[in-house]
Amino acid sequence: HDSRADLSRRAMIYSMQGLSFREYMNISLGLNLPILSLEEILNNHTEIANDLTNSIKPLAHFDTYLKTGYYPFSFEQKANYNERLKQTVLYMIEVDLVQLRNISAQHINQLKKLLYILAQSVPFKPNMVKLAEQVGVARNTLFSYLSYLEEAELLFLLHSEGTGNKLMQKPEKIFLHNPNLLHALSSVKTEIGTLREIFFLNQVSKLHKVAYSEKGDFLVNDSSIFEIGGRNKDYTQIADLPNSFLALDDIEFSIGNRIPLYLFGFLY
């Protein structure tokens, strides 16, 4: 981020997101599964899911991906993956943020405490005054810390549709950046519903605008509402909303507006 302007005339800058579910299966199974556009998924998900499940069983690999599949070093040492991920997170906070964001060493524990609090309670609907008191910082400092952690791709701050300058605006919800972080950083039992929401947000937000929705879980590209859940989730919450969809775990096939959640891992 800091070097982008200096390097713009000398080098191409690429943003390397962690592995998508598609990339994870391609590497681990030696496949060549294609990228799908969001439009293809929404319009042709029944045919796509049928074709996929004729050759592979995506759900057989989905849980492993949520636990240890996002970062490429999972293919090196699975046994201590979570410990290595924790150490990487600590390095980002203790070294990268200290050097690049002028955070004094004595305030590092506040950043760690903030991340710990959020990891135990995502998706977190923030009361910024209370959260600032818990962490022991001023409200403006809290906003800066949240921004730093999002910039480091440790958090995702979900705002409402049409939000302007987000730096000093309270997010509607706070998520960890990807499901692997929840498994590695949370000391409480990981809720499958939370993992599903983080997966959808992480995979879709790389190429599409994702915002908070009062009804449903996410608003994508200002036009489509998505409710995330398991196979028994129904339309009650979004029944009266046009262009609304259920993204469901534990289903391999789809019909109508019920789309297998794993398909959203094919967007990149």
pLDDT in tens, 190-200: 899 999 999 99
Whether pLDDT at 249 is above 60: yes
HEC letters along 162-198: CCCCCCCCCCCEEEECCHHHHHHHCCCCCCHHHHHHH
The rounded mean pLDDT for the chain is 92
**146-173 mean pLDDT:** 86
Q: What is the pLDDT of residue 248?
A: 98
- The per-residue pLDDT for 257 is 94
Average confidence (pLDDT) over 230-252: 94
Rounded mean pLDDT of 227-238?
93
199 vs 193: CA distance, rounded Å:
10
- pLDDT band at 106; cut points 50, 70, 90: confident
* SS3 annotation, the chain: CCCHHHHCCCCCCCCCCCCCHHHHHHHHHCCCCCCCCHHHHHHHHHHHHHHHHHHCCCHHHHHHHHHHCCCHHHHCCCCCHHHHHHHHHHHHHHHHHHHHCCCCHHHHHHHHHHHHHHHHHCCECCCHHHHHHHHCCCHHHHHHHHHHHHHCCCEEEECECCCCCCCCCCCCEEEECCHHHHHHHCCCCCCHHHHHHHHHHHHHHCCCCEEECCCCCEEECCCEEEEEECCCCCCHHHCCCCCEEEEECCCCCCECCEEEHHHHHHCC
Q: How far apart are CA 98 and CA 104, in angstroms?
A: 6
Q: Is the pLDDT of residue 113 over 80?
A: yes
pLDDT the model gives residue 86: 97
Q: Is the peptide bond before 171 cis (omega within 30 degrees of 0)?
A: no
Any idea which of 103-117, 151-165, 192-206, 235-249 has the lowest mean pLDDT? Answer: 151-165
Mean pLDDT of 168-178: 92
Tokens of 117: 């609090």
pLDDT in the model for residue 199: 98
Residue 239: the pLDDT is: 86
How many CA atoms within 13 Å lie on the side-chain side of 259?
Answer: 25
Mean pLDDT of 214-223: 95
- The mean pLDDT of 182-209, rounded to a whole number, is 95
What would the pLDDT profile of 125-145 be if each residue is shown by its tens digit?
Answer: 989 999 999 999 999 999 999
Main-chain phi, psi angles of 54, to 5 degrees: -75, -25
pLDDT in tens, 43-85: 999 999 999 999 899 999 999 999 999 999 999 877 899 999 9
Give the pLDDT score at 127: 92
Nearest-angstrom CA–CA distance, 85 and 90: 9
